[in-house]
Amino acid sequence: MEAENQQCPRCHRTFSTRKINSLSHTFAWTIAALVMLVPANLYPMMIYYTLGKPEASTILEGIATFVQFGMYPVAIVIFIASFVVPLAKIIGLFILMYHAKRASKLTVKQQGQLYHIVEFLGPWSMLDVFVVAIMAAVVNLGFLSSIEAAKGITYFGLMVVFTMLAAESFDARLLWDVQKDDVQKDDVQKENSQNENTCKHPPQPPSDVGLNQASQHDSP
């Protein structure tokens, strides 16, 4: 395929019209992230020692402690950053992958927004890893009180990295392909139709009219 090995005249990098095997890469990273999410939530993130007495807490237990002490702002920030966002990111990626294969009730614009949200949120879920790193270094007052990192943190960190890699390997243009196929009533398998689009059609500016028509087409 000639289109696969062209060089960008500006940055001299070889490019392909689509990211190669985008879906399978995204799927692999998302599954890896999902697998990491389980131990990340089951194992404690850090261990507090107060007067020599250890007390381990998982993400959710830590949030519960904050709520108990009435520190609602921190509880909300941590709850969103380390529980809601990672979970939402993985679910969002699955939704996108599902819709890259078949047309959906969501318009392409909404799916595009979903993708950009997933992409934007990526780094922010690293928050908890940094908090543990800082706390473990700073709170070290000998017998009085000290904090140590615990097992869960490794899984959590890996989970965040995996979701970021998943979002990066997802090709948002796949969402457009589905719309085109649907309009053409094309039953050829995704992979084939993708290649056809690659070779025959130059990039077309998405017009709002086309978008509306396509989405009307979709709805049952």
Partner 1 sequence: MKPATSLNNVVICRRCDAALSKPNIQPGHKAICPGCGALLFELKKNPMERTMAVSLAGLLLFFPAILLPMIGVSAAGAHNEASLIDCIVILLNSGYHIVALIVFLFTIAIPIVHLLAAFYIAVAVHFNKISQSLLVFFRSYHVLDSWTMLHVFFLGVIVSIYKIVDLAELTVGGGLISFVLLLICSTLVSVTLDHYYVWEKMEQALED
Which of 2, 53, 73, 209 is in the footprint of partner 1 by CB under 8 A?
73
Q: Is 9 in the site for partner 1 (CB under 8 A)?
A: yes
Query: What is the Cα–Cα distance from 9 to 12, expressed in whole angstroms?
Result: 5
Query: What is the Cα–Cα distance from 82 to 64, expressed in whole angstroms?
Result: 13
The distance of closest approach from Cβ of residue 164 to partner 1 in the complex, given in angstroms and rounded to an integer, is 7
- Candidate ranges 15-23, 88-96, 97-105, 198-206; the one touching partner 1 (CB under 8 A): 198-206
Show contacts with partner 1 in window 122-181 (CB under 8 A): 122-124, 126-142, 144-145, 148-149, 153-154, 157-158, 161, 164, 168, 172-173, 176
What DSSP string runs through 91-160? HHHHHHHHHHHS--SS-HHHHHHHHHHHHHHGGGGGHHHHHHHHHHHH-B-TTSEEEEE-THHHHHHHHH
Tokens, residue 143: 């017998």
- What are 14's strand-pairing partners? 7
Residues that bind partner 1 (CB under 8 A): 7, 9-13, 69, 71, 73-74, 77-78, 109, 112, 116, 119, 122-124, 126-142, 144-145, 148-149, 153-154, 157-158, 161, 164, 168, 172-173, 176, 203-206, 208
